[in-house]
Amino acid sequence: MNKKRIRLFILLATSLGILIFAAFLAFTFIPTHTGVIAEVQHNEETGRHSIWVVQGSSADINNKSEAELAERYKYQGIIFKLPSYLPERVKQDLSAGQEVKIYINGKIQESGPGGGKAYWVTAVKKEEY
């Protein structure tokens, strides 16, 4: 290899390393919220998704009607607006009763239920013994 190619390779490898390190730091220090999805909402007009996340367990959510959930968790939890860049397959996989970890901007509106914007959502997988 000539010197130009070696320098280009070193530059690209260093840039890629810095980018991976920055992504690691971003997902390490971004505030998170963990809870169970009580309801997934989709606005047909705007195409936006949001999820209502409450503290509890999947057993508390599963097999409950919307009226029962509204009564039990009235004014509790947080409704997170999901970002438009979140892949559709991730949005479609979200369902009531699923435990999730949400990366947020750190600001939660004080209302009943609260409101916030999510940067990313991941499902929390519990190990079964």
13-25 per-position pLDDT tens digit = 999 999 999 888 8
Q: Per-residue pLDDT for 118 more than 70?
A: yes
Q: Per-residue pLDDT for 64 more than 90?
A: no
Provide the pLDDT confidence category of residue 126 given band limits of 50, 70 and 90: low
Q: Per-residue pLDDT for 100 more than 50?
A: yes
What single-letter amino acid sits at 107? K
Q: Mark out the alpha helices in 30-127 (DSSP H runs).
A: 58-61, 66-72, 88-93
